Amino acid sequence: MGNAIAANLAQIQAQAANLHTILPQAAYDGPEPASAQGGFAQRMRDAVDSVNAQDHAAGQQMAAVDSGQSDDLVGAMLSSQQASLSFSMLMQVRNKVVTAVEDLVKLPI
């Protein structure tokens, strides 16, 4: 039983290290130069691609658990929840942008 706990702890630590590479840096050093920004549309495309990749990876992990190739149900569920939260956050950003554009359109000239 001790070996299983140690293996689970090692796996959790590896996944935590992986999260640090996936998630953006918490520190903010100020605005990036205009040439490095790539524009709002490119950033939204990158965010959608990132959320799509997370969903795809979670789907693969769940399929591996379902088919018996993996016994990491906890990891698969965590990946699924992370993908779900990322999608929810992306939808909230989308809704805020749509609301802001609608407010701009309603401004009198």
Question: What are the start-end ranges of the E strands in 11-87?
Answer: none
CA distances from 89 to 65, 73, 83, 84 (A): 26, 24, 10, 9
| Number of other CB atoms surrounding residue 39 within 10 Å | 9
Q: Which three-class secondary structure state does DSSP give residue 83?
A: helix
The tens-digit pLDDT sequence of the chain (109 residues) is 566 676 766 777 777 666 656 655 544 445 555 555 578 889 989 999 999 999 999 999 999 999 989 888 899 999 999 999 999 999 999 999 999 999 999 988 7
The count of C-alpha atoms lying within 13 angstroms of the C-alpha of 5, restricted to the half-sphere facing its C-beta, is 2
Count of residues making up the chain: 109
pTM score: 0.60
